[in-house]
Structure 1
Amino acid sequence: MYESITADEALKVVKSNDRVYVQAAAAAPQSLVQALARRHEELRNVEVCHLHTEGPAPYANPEYKDSFHVNSFFIGKNVRHTLRAGNGSYTPVFLSELPILFKRNILKLDVALIHVSPPDRHGYCSLGVSVEATLAAIDNAKHVIAQVNPKMPRTHGAGIIHISEIDAFVEVDTPIFGHEATIPTDIENKIGEYVAGLIEDRSTLQMGIGSIPNAVLSKLTSHKDLGLHTEMFSDGVIDLILNNVITCNYKSINRGRAMATFLVGSQRLYDYVDDNPFVEMRGSDYVNNVSVVKQNPKMVAINSAIEIDLTGQVCADSIGSNMYSGVGGQMDFIRAASLSEGGKAIIALPSTTRKGISRIVPSLNPGAGVVTTRAHVHYVVTEYGVADLYGKTIKQRVKALTEIAHPDHREDIARTYFDLING
């Protein structure tokens, strides 16, 4: 059906000054990535662009700065150092709009590196656990190189491509990168209780990966007929689906299906989604599209932040002027939840950092980016309660956010804020 070649042979198609897209998250095609990095001595000025990827990113080695430049659409730990080292940059973009950059040739792609399941008897492969902007990359790249892996789950939805769309095949048999579910702390469990209290039966959920989403999910076991339309999900949803808490029966769009654009979790998650028609994977220009998501009544978006100022401005992508992650899909879902009938836009975070620094601040740190504006936020949740900001004045917001800050910081936060506004 197709002829397999080695990764080194396949990557010979990459030339100096090319732009290469790498499939995201747990689907990052490591054999192809490693082969690309091995060509560092002969290549110059190759731009490697992607969202967060799991696993090593050897092309991001600062010693290879003349060979590769990293363009991050969402900054992961494996490439964060490139911003300071000078061999990497960050492109701010909503995840819903990332495919548009390729479709309109704003970013012209030369090569797409993807990771797929083996083709079925009809010649169709699955993009598995990550679709995001990869479909747009495949459609617009001059060359598509696929890492074909029997361990890649075959997921349903839009991430199905025919072998005729692929120019080179590299067979591997390696595990998909995964993360075991973390155990929430007492603080995260308290936040989870508050957030769960805001979620009504028949709501549709968007949430990410991590301890706070896991804590929220663990508190939803008595809820009924919840839906799932989310950028990504992890292991925490499996038991809720199996116990008929998440049924997706009351969604207005894609009813009866759990919607996502990428997945990261344990092997249990990958086994669960394999050939499971309940889980539908689509590109981020659909999954994160505000006009699509808002059609679900009682849409609940649960996101986090690095810091929030007393007026409700949310910084979620930088620590001061140092870029840390990215815009991602936060605004896509915050806006969609705001426009949904009965929807709720929630920012949930611990009141302090691990070092005891308050995350609710009088004003954002100099250089900090505003991912979600003060006009978009509905609820802010910490372990000390819920601040309902929607329709509230600045004065009311200051009071509400001060009350859910850590008690050790409340007086200082309020005093500093009033000193700032009074000059």
Structure 2
Amino acid sequence: MDEVDPGLKALYLQRRLLPHEAVQTIAGCKNLILGMSAAQPPALMAATADALKDRLIGPLAIYYLHGTESLRRSLLVPELSDRVIPRPLFLSHSDRAAIAQSGSQSWIEFVPAMLHQAGRLLTEHIDPECFFVTVSPMDRHGYFSLGTNADYGASVIRKAKKVIVEVNRYMPRTFGECSVHISEIDHLVEHDEPLIEAIPNPPTAVDMKIAEQIVQRINDGDTLQIGVGGVPNAVLAGLTNHQNLGLHSELFSPAMMPLIQSGVMNGRRKTWMQHKHVFTFALGDRALYDFLDDNPSIVGYPASWVNNPDIIRLNDNMVSVNSALEIDLTGQINSEQLGDRPFSGSGGQLDFVRGAYSARNGRSFVALRSTAQSDKVSRIVPRLLGGTVTDPRNDVHFVVTEHGCVNLKGLSIPQRARALIDIAAPEFREALEREAISMGLV
């Protein structure tokens, strides 16, 4: 802070509070929006939980995406179930654990949303009274960085009635639309704590078999969006011999780093934001966060822009790779519900399924292993068990399992059913054929 202008330094000190002091300033707040994932501020959340227990504030409806363990331990606890209504727009492992701990499926009220609309939902359809988010330390010009999370933070921070930031030296400073000026916040607290880390499991043999089929269909010069999971990571690992790849992706993950460092992913042949690696949120390990810090080739922008299909399509040769939980015989895809239980959310999958296919020579892949529950059930099903459609059948392009890859575009319902049965696990194909006949699909 020594090189900071004296006026900015005075403003910083004037707005600095201890966590419990900052939380007491939201006493009249009914809606609290939290940053997403790594941007969720642990000290502010813990202080909020204490104030709720002491009935100094609240009750609160809390809106967020991808809850962390810090959120689960502080605000998603059973003793606060009468003081907190969690309303996530995307569920994480921590959210599911909180649901199981509470014993009530209805306590956490899931809000369906596509990621590119999250900023609008949180500022137009929900009253953005208060916003808590983690930021990097202030620079000499008076700017903090949203670092790992441009997503909806860049949209909400300028619409919320009260903004309180948690300054954390572990948050990287990133470029793009990630800057927040000291004049735009009401209060700040200081709390240094390593960001949450998501260490991916090594891809399985099945993941590799699925990924190989996708890698074969990715060309030099393609621009990629890669989702989360074993198959997407295996796809990235299989691209080391490609050239001049680009990145326009909602997620920036550790598996992308080696491709950028080696020059395989350089953005040289992108037709939009050439030479820049575009993302809206990053999640990984400490090495990833260090790689992001002060790296001018990597730029973060709000999901309302990154995930907008009209923006995605501006890159020729756009390729989208995502995962699914199940697909029915007409091509409808469910990526967010297990039976009657919410599992995750739409996120940005449909944004990129539509945006990639709309691009010149664009391709969209949805990958899933053919079975689940130790090979006891088929993920290719006559009807979606949860009744939730993430990707409508009209939008689905390539579907990939370990048994093959099919392009559903232009296929009739009978052709789709037969094609999907052909890439189901062999032990389920006969039963699927009978179901397709009984349903009048073939």
TM-score normalised by length of structure 1:
0.96
**Alignment partners' CA distance in 2, 1:287 and 1:318:** 25
**Alignment partners' CA distance in 2, 1:188 and 1:114:** 35
Matches within 5 A, 1:408-419: 408-419=427-438
| TM-superposition CA deviations, 1:366-387 (whole Å, max 9, x none) | x421110111111000111101
Q: Which residue in the other structure is 1:294 paired with? A: 313
Counterpart residue type for residue 15 of structure 1 = A
Q: 2:66 aligns with which of 46, 52, 65?
A: 52
| TM-superposition CA deviations, 1:19-76 (whole Å, max 9, x none) | 0111001121111111111122304431110011332322122321221100111111
Q: 2:33 aligns with which of 13, 21, 28?
A: 21
Q: 2:80 aligns with which of 52, 64, 77?
A: 64
Q: Which residue in the other structure is 2:225 paired with? A: 206
**Alignment partners' CA distance in 2, 1:163 and 1:276:** 22
The answer (yes or no) to whether the contact 2:321–2:366 under 8 Å persists in 1 is: yes
**Alignment partners' CA distance in 1, 2:216 and 2:428:** 26
Q: Are 1:342 and 2:358 counterparts?
A: no
Task: Give ranges in structure 2 of 5+ residues lacking alignment.
Answer: 1-8
Matches within 5 A, 1:301-320: 301-320=320-339
Counterpart residue type for residue 102 of structure 1 = L
The answer (yes or no) to whether the contact 1:44–1:66 under 8 Å persists in 2 is: no
SS of corresponding position for 2:39:
coil
The answer (yes or no) to whether the contact 1:181–1:236 under 8 Å persists in 2 is: no
**Alignment partners' CA distance in 1, 2:198 and 2:339:** 29
Give the stretch that moved more between structures: 73-82 or 249-258: 73-82
Deviation at residue 182 of structure 1 after TM alignment: 2.2
Matches within 5 A, 1:74-153: 74-80=90-96, 81-82=98-99, 84-103=104-123, 105-153=124-172
The answer (yes or no) to whether the contact 2:67–2:92 under 8 Å persists in 1 is: yes
**Alignment partners' CA distance in 2, 1:24 and 1:89:** 17
Counterpart residue type for residue 38 of structure 1 = D
**Alignment partners' CA distance in 2, 1:393 and 1:361:** 17
Q: Which residue in the other structure is 2:212 paired with? A: 193
**Alignment partners' CA distance in 1, 2:163 and 2:281:** 20
SS of corresponding position for 1:26:
helix
SS of corresponding position for 1:302:
strand
Give the direction of change, closer, same or farther, for the CA distance of 1:241–1:422 in structure 2 (3 Å limit): closer
Give the stretch that moved more between structures: 134-143 or 77-86: 77-86
**Alignment partners' CA distance in 1, 2:149 and 2:23:** 21
**Alignment partners' CA distance in 2, 1:93 and 1:149:** 29
**Alignment partners' CA distance in 2, 1:208 and 1:96:** 15
TM-score normalised by length of structure 2:
0.92
| TM-superposition CA deviations, 1:302-335 (whole Å, max 9, x none) | 1111100111100111122321111110111000
Aligned residues: CA RMSD: 1.5
Q: 2:395 aligns with which of 376, 384, 387?
A: 376
SS of corresponding position for 2:157:
helix
**Alignment partners' CA distance in 2, 1:133 and 1:159:** 10
SS of corresponding position for 1:421:
coil
**Alignment partners' CA distance in 2, 1:69 and 1:273:** 34
Q: 2:191 aligns with which of 172, 175, 181?
A: 172
Q: Are 1:6 and 2:22 counterparts?
A: no
Counterpart residue type for residue 371 of structure 2 = T
Task: Give ranges in structure 1 of 5+ residues lacking alignment.
Answer: none
Deviation at residue 79 of structure 1 after TM alignment: 2.0
SS of corresponding position for 1:73:
strand
**Alignment partners' CA distance in 2, 1:400 and 1:371:** 20
Q: Which residue in the other structure is 2:44 paired with? A: 32
